[in-house]
Structure 1
Amino acid sequence: MQLPTPDEIKQKRTELGLTQSDLAKRAGVSQPLIARIESGDVDPRLSTLRKIIEVFEDAEKEDILVVNIMNTEVISVSPEEQVDAAVQIMGRYHISQIPVISNGVPVGSISEEMIVRSLADKKKSMVSQMIIKEMMGDSFPTVSPKADIKVVSHILERNPAVLVLEKGQVVGVVTKHDVMQLLNE
């Protein structure tokens, strides 16, 4: 077994979002000791290193919250815009659906599928000039920033995205891609 260096301990602690005080409290040691270990001023006892490593392992198993993976830049359209604006945004960002948001509140969604379906019934010029609220579908499901990723994963099984609401206002979005990115970490 290779023991972690002071730099590795500090790096792991920061990756897990733990402060020195958090780590000290969970490991049952003092914060100044953690600071001294990380700076290389003191060689910790093996039992102290074991406690620190156990804290790291426990922290890695803790639930992942939506706030930690959500995109805070929510690409959206207004219900009053023309469908052509949604088509341009979808093309620019290489996305296939967009939430429709009015004054920070989700009111619907629009997708490539909805637009293509409309083109089967109407002329191209008529569809591009339509107002989004005339075509939009239901809004994406919503969760709070403190929702667990497991909840969001289940919602994403049947929906393309989940909006994150705080005090009734959209503050983020989570897609299937965002959840899959957890595998790269």
Structure 2
Amino acid sequence: MITVLVIVVIVLGLSALLYSGRGRARGSGGRRLKRQFGPEYDRVVADHDGDVRAAEQELDERVRRHGSLRERPLSPSARAQYVAEWAALQERFVASPHEAVTEADELPARLARDRGFPGAERFEEQWAALSVHHAYFVEGYRDVHTAARGRSGTEEMREAMVEARGLFEALAGEPPVATGGRRLASLGGRGSAAPSPQ
């Protein structure tokens, strides 16, 4: 009888140890995903109605599919062309906000494709890949994509353009102008910039 009790206690102890080890491993994976995805982590958890495990599975799947992607470099002339196009569409925003927002949706999509990401014809796939490599800036791209296809007001379109600029600059090889969803004061980027994520 004592032998059976000792065996039961050992089995229960090993089970508890194994279970707590899995919890710690999952917890460290969650911290890694939070660091990697920043505000995108919270958005995905919210999309899964607070189900952290489902959200982390989705983010892990994105990393599995797109983590090995290596961004192709831009030639100096291609970079200069993209920068000039972005500056021109910012200027057009005052006279024609919706046209500028539509171009602000298309320009980062082309730039992402040229850098080696999936093409814009598969927006969700392109967006998922960008979220793995530029997580702190993808929400602005989603906002401008939504604004280009919806009925957003001028202020919402302006904010979407400001946010999309962070991703554009990250892809163009310039230092990003904002992180973590913070807004800049103007389209020209003369507002206060947050420090780059660590």
TM-score (normalised: structure 2): 0.24
Normalized per residue, the structure richer in strand is 1
> For the pair shown, which has the larger CA radius of gyration, 1 or 2?
1
Normalized per residue, the structure richer in helix is 2
TM-score (normalised: structure 1): 0.26
